[in-house]
Amino acid sequence: MSDHSDESQASVLRPLLDRARQGDIAAQEELFAKCRNYIALVARAQVESWMRTKVDASDLVQQTLLEAYRGFQNFQGRSEGEWLAWLRQILTHNAQDFIRQLRTEKRGGGAIERSLSPGDDSGSFFAEPAADEATPSQLVSAREREIAVADAIARLSPDHQEVIILRNLQRLPFEEIAERMGRTRPAVQMLWTRAIQKLEQLLASGEDFAGADD
Protein backbone atom coordinates (compact mmCIF):
# COMPACT_ATOMS: atom_id res chain seq x y z
CA MET A 1 0.00 0.00 0.00
CA SER A 2 1.10 3.54 -0.62
CA ASP A 3 2.22 6.11 1.90
CA HIS A 4 -0.90 8.04 0.91
CA SER A 5 -3.06 5.29 2.44
CA ASP A 6 -1.09 5.46 5.69
CA GLU A 7 -1.56 9.21 5.81
CA SER A 8 -5.27 8.78 5.07
CA GLN A 9 -5.87 6.66 8.16
CA ALA A 10 -3.61 8.89 10.25
CA SER A 11 -5.77 11.87 9.29
CA VAL A 12 -8.83 10.01 10.56
CA LEU A 13 -7.73 8.59 13.90
CA ARG A 14 -4.44 10.12 14.99
CA PRO A 15 -5.66 13.71 15.54
CA LEU A 16 -8.68 12.40 17.45
CA LEU A 17 -6.48 10.14 19.54
CA ASP A 18 -4.08 12.97 20.37
CA ARG A 19 -6.89 15.36 21.30
CA ALA A 20 -8.67 12.71 23.35
CA ARG A 21 -5.49 12.04 25.34
CA GLN A 22 -5.36 15.77 26.09
CA GLY A 23 -8.81 15.59 27.69
CA ASP A 24 -10.99 16.62 24.74
CA ILE A 25 -14.25 14.77 25.51
CA ALA A 26 -15.81 15.51 22.12
CA ALA A 27 -12.75 14.07 20.36
CA GLN A 28 -12.88 11.01 22.59
CA GLU A 29 -16.52 10.39 21.75
CA GLU A 30 -15.85 10.83 18.02
CA LEU A 31 -12.88 8.47 18.25
CA PHE A 32 -15.06 5.72 19.72
CA ALA A 33 -17.83 6.39 17.20
CA LYS A 34 -15.40 5.94 14.31
CA CYS A 35 -14.20 2.63 15.76
CA ARG A 36 -17.66 1.14 16.39
CA ASN A 37 -18.04 -0.57 12.99
CA TYR A 38 -14.52 -1.96 13.29
CA ILE A 39 -15.14 -3.44 16.74
CA ALA A 40 -18.53 -4.79 15.65
CA LEU A 41 -16.96 -6.55 12.66
CA VAL A 42 -14.12 -8.06 14.70
CA ALA A 43 -16.56 -9.14 17.42
CA ARG A 44 -18.79 -10.89 14.93
CA ALA A 45 -15.87 -12.62 13.26
CA GLN A 46 -14.39 -13.74 16.58
CA VAL A 47 -17.59 -15.07 18.10
CA GLU A 48 -18.73 -16.83 14.94
CA SER A 49 -15.32 -18.44 14.52
CA TRP A 50 -15.62 -19.95 18.00
CA MET A 51 -19.26 -20.98 17.63
CA ARG A 52 -20.91 -23.00 14.88
CA THR A 53 -24.07 -20.98 15.38
CA LYS A 54 -24.59 -17.30 14.68
CA VAL A 55 -24.87 -15.14 17.75
CA ASP A 56 -25.71 -11.51 18.38
CA ALA A 57 -22.42 -9.79 19.14
CA SER A 58 -23.99 -6.39 19.88
CA ASP A 59 -23.81 -6.82 23.67
CA LEU A 60 -20.15 -7.77 23.35
CA VAL A 61 -19.47 -4.66 21.28
CA GLN A 62 -21.28 -2.40 23.74
CA GLN A 63 -19.43 -3.89 26.72
CA THR A 64 -16.07 -3.55 24.99
CA LEU A 65 -16.59 0.09 24.02
CA LEU A 66 -17.89 0.94 27.49
CA GLU A 67 -14.89 -0.64 29.21
CA ALA A 68 -12.49 1.05 26.80
CA TYR A 69 -14.20 4.41 27.35
CA ARG A 70 -14.04 4.08 31.13
CA GLY A 71 -10.44 2.87 31.05
CA PHE A 72 -9.21 5.25 28.36
CA GLN A 73 -6.57 6.69 30.69
CA ASN A 74 -4.96 3.23 30.84
CA PHE A 75 -4.13 3.28 27.12
CA GLN A 76 -0.39 3.88 26.85
CA GLY A 77 0.15 3.67 23.09
CA ARG A 78 0.30 6.52 20.59
CA SER A 79 -0.31 5.06 17.12
CA GLU A 80 -3.53 3.97 15.43
CA GLY A 81 -2.22 0.40 15.31
CA GLU A 82 -1.61 0.35 19.06
CA TRP A 83 -5.04 1.85 19.67
CA LEU A 84 -6.85 -0.76 17.58
CA ALA A 85 -4.78 -3.55 19.14
CA TRP A 86 -5.78 -2.28 22.60
CA LEU A 87 -9.45 -2.33 21.64
CA ARG A 88 -9.09 -5.86 20.25
CA GLN A 89 -7.41 -6.99 23.47
CA ILE A 90 -10.38 -5.78 25.52
CA LEU A 91 -12.76 -7.38 23.03
CA THR A 92 -10.95 -10.72 23.16
CA HIS A 93 -11.05 -10.72 26.97
CA ASN A 94 -14.79 -10.05 26.95
CA ALA A 95 -15.34 -12.66 24.25
CA GLN A 96 -13.53 -15.24 26.36
CA ASP A 97 -15.87 -14.47 29.25
CA PHE A 98 -18.82 -14.70 26.90
CA ILE A 99 -17.74 -18.11 25.61
CA ARG A 100 -17.09 -19.39 29.14
CA GLN A 101 -20.60 -18.34 30.11
CA LEU A 102 -22.09 -20.19 27.15
CA ARG A 103 -19.92 -23.21 27.93
CA THR A 104 -21.36 -23.26 31.45
CA GLU A 105 -24.94 -22.81 30.24
CA LYS A 106 -24.56 -25.50 27.56
CA ARG A 107 -22.26 -27.84 29.46
CA GLY A 108 -21.54 -30.87 27.34
CA GLY A 109 -23.49 -29.45 24.42
CA GLY A 110 -20.52 -29.24 22.08
CA ALA A 111 -21.19 -25.59 21.29
CA ILE A 112 -17.54 -24.53 21.50
CA GLU A 113 -15.43 -25.17 18.44
CA ARG A 114 -11.98 -24.57 19.91
CA SER A 115 -10.25 -23.29 23.01
CA LEU A 116 -9.44 -19.61 23.31
CA SER A 117 -6.06 -18.09 23.96
CA PRO A 118 -5.21 -14.54 25.08
CA GLY A 119 -3.39 -13.87 21.82
CA ASP A 120 -6.24 -15.04 19.60
CA ASP A 121 -6.82 -12.44 16.90
CA SER A 122 -9.68 -13.92 14.91
CA GLY A 123 -11.38 -11.28 12.83
CA SER A 124 -8.29 -9.16 12.41
CA PHE A 125 -7.58 -7.85 8.93
CA PHE A 126 -3.89 -8.54 9.57
CA ALA A 127 -3.76 -12.00 7.98
CA GLU A 128 -2.08 -12.21 4.62
CA PRO A 129 -4.42 -13.19 1.78
CA ALA A 130 -4.39 -16.82 0.70
CA ALA A 131 -2.11 -17.69 -2.20
CA ASP A 132 -5.07 -18.36 -4.50
CA GLU A 133 -6.90 -15.16 -3.62
CA ALA A 134 -7.38 -12.41 -6.15
CA THR A 135 -5.69 -9.07 -5.49
CA PRO A 136 -8.94 -7.37 -4.36
CA SER A 137 -9.00 -9.53 -1.24
CA GLN A 138 -5.96 -7.64 -0.01
CA LEU A 139 -8.36 -4.78 0.68
CA VAL A 140 -9.65 -6.76 3.63
CA SER A 141 -6.20 -7.51 5.04
CA ALA A 142 -4.67 -4.05 4.75
CA ARG A 143 -3.47 -2.77 8.12
CA GLU A 144 -3.64 0.89 7.12
CA ARG A 145 -7.26 0.74 5.95
CA GLU A 146 -8.94 -1.15 8.77
CA ILE A 147 -11.38 1.58 9.77
CA ALA A 148 -12.35 2.39 6.18
CA VAL A 149 -12.81 -1.30 5.33
CA ALA A 150 -14.93 -1.96 8.42
CA ASP A 151 -17.15 1.03 7.68
CA ALA A 152 -17.59 -0.08 4.06
CA ILE A 153 -18.38 -3.69 5.04
CA ALA A 154 -21.06 -2.37 7.40
CA ARG A 155 -22.79 -0.91 4.32
CA LEU A 156 -22.92 -4.23 2.45
CA SER A 157 -25.93 -6.55 2.36
CA PRO A 158 -26.08 -9.24 5.10
CA ASP A 159 -25.08 -12.00 2.66
CA HIS A 160 -22.14 -9.98 1.35
CA GLN A 161 -21.02 -9.22 4.90
CA GLU A 162 -21.23 -12.86 5.89
CA VAL A 163 -19.28 -14.24 2.93
CA ILE A 164 -16.49 -11.68 3.44
CA ILE A 165 -16.29 -12.44 7.15
CA LEU A 166 -16.14 -16.18 6.53
CA ARG A 167 -13.68 -16.02 3.63
CA ASN A 168 -11.44 -13.03 4.32
CA LEU A 169 -11.48 -12.76 8.10
CA GLN A 170 -11.95 -16.37 9.19
CA ARG A 171 -10.04 -17.77 6.18
CA LEU A 172 -12.52 -20.63 5.65
CA PRO A 173 -12.46 -22.73 2.46
CA PHE A 174 -15.33 -22.19 0.04
CA GLU A 175 -16.63 -25.70 0.72
CA GLU A 176 -17.20 -24.89 4.40
CA ILE A 177 -18.65 -21.47 3.59
CA ALA A 178 -21.12 -23.12 1.21
CA GLU A 179 -22.17 -25.52 3.96
CA ARG A 180 -22.62 -22.74 6.50
CA MET A 181 -24.58 -20.53 4.13
CA GLY A 182 -26.67 -23.35 2.66
CA ARG A 183 -25.48 -22.70 -0.90
CA THR A 184 -23.44 -24.48 -3.54
CA ARG A 185 -19.73 -23.74 -3.80
CA PRO A 186 -20.08 -22.00 -7.21
CA ALA A 187 -22.88 -19.84 -5.81
CA VAL A 188 -20.76 -18.88 -2.81
CA GLN A 189 -17.76 -18.07 -4.98
CA MET A 190 -19.90 -15.83 -7.17
CA LEU A 191 -21.39 -14.19 -4.08
CA TRP A 192 -17.90 -13.55 -2.70
CA THR A 193 -16.70 -12.06 -6.00
CA ARG A 194 -19.65 -9.68 -6.11
CA ALA A 195 -19.17 -8.77 -2.44
CA ILE A 196 -15.52 -7.88 -3.02
CA GLN A 197 -16.45 -5.85 -6.11
CA LYS A 198 -19.03 -3.91 -4.12
CA LEU A 199 -16.53 -3.39 -1.31
CA GLU A 200 -14.00 -2.04 -3.80
CA GLN A 201 -16.59 0.38 -5.17
CA LEU A 202 -17.43 1.69 -1.72
CA LEU A 203 -13.78 2.15 -0.78
CA ALA A 204 -13.00 3.83 -4.10
CA SER A 205 -15.79 6.35 -3.50
CA GLY A 206 -13.82 7.76 -0.58
CA GLU A 207 -17.06 8.38 1.34
CA ASP A 208 -16.97 8.43 5.14
CA PHE A 209 -19.47 5.74 6.13
CA ALA A 210 -18.97 5.92 9.89
CA GLY A 211 -22.26 6.58 11.57
CA ALA A 212 -24.15 6.62 8.27
CA ASP A 213 -27.65 5.27 8.19
CA ASP A 214 -28.60 2.33 5.99
- Structural domains of the chain, count: 2
Question: Which residue, of 124, 150, 177, is where some domain finishes?
Answer: 124
pLDDT tens-digit profile of 141-162? 455 578 888 999 999 999 999 9
Higher pLDDT, 186 or 98: 186
Question: Which residue, of 75, 96, 124, is where some domain finishes?
Answer: 124
Domain identity same for 22 and 111: yes
Domain identity same for 198 and 151: yes
Domain identity same for 19 and 66: yes
Work out the average pLDDT over 125-142: 47
Per-residue confidence (pLDDT) for residue 209, from 0 to 100:
52
E strands along 79-199, which residues? none
Question: Which residue, of 89, 106, 124, is where some domain finishes?
Answer: 124
pLDDT tens-digit profile of 37-57? 999 998 888 776 666 555 568
Per-residue confidence (pLDDT) for residue 117, from 0 to 100:
41
Domain identity same for 27 and 48: yes
Domain identity same for 184 and 130: yes
Domain identity same for 112 and 13: yes
Per-residue confidence (pLDDT) for residue 51, from 0 to 100:
61
CATH of the domain at 31: 1.10.1740.10
- Distances in whole angstroms, Cα of residue 114 to Cα of each of 5, 48, 49, 110, 210: 36, 11, 9, 10, 33
3-state secondary structure 162-183: HHHHHHHHCCCCHHHHHHHHCC
- Distances in whole angstroms, Cα of residue 84 to Cα of each of 59, 90, 117, 124, 166: 19, 10, 18, 10, 21
Work out the average pLDDT over 21-43: 93
CATH of the domain at 192: 1.10.10.10
Work out the average pLDDT over 163-188: 93
Within 10 A of 12 (CB to CB), how many other CB atoms are there? 18
Domain identity same for 117 and 129: no
**Owning domain of residue 201:** 125-214
Work out the average pLDDT over 106-110: 53
Distance CA 130, CA 192 (A): 14
Identify any residues that bridge with 212 across adjacent strands, giving them in sequence order: none
Per-residue confidence (pLDDT) for residue 122, from 0 to 100:
43
Question: Taking the C-alpha atoms of 147, 150, 155 and 157 in order, what is their torsion angle to the nearest 10 degrees?
Answer: 170
Identify any residues that bridge with 138 across adjacent strands, giving them in sequence order: none
> Is 123 in contact with 46 (CB distance < 8 Å)?
yes
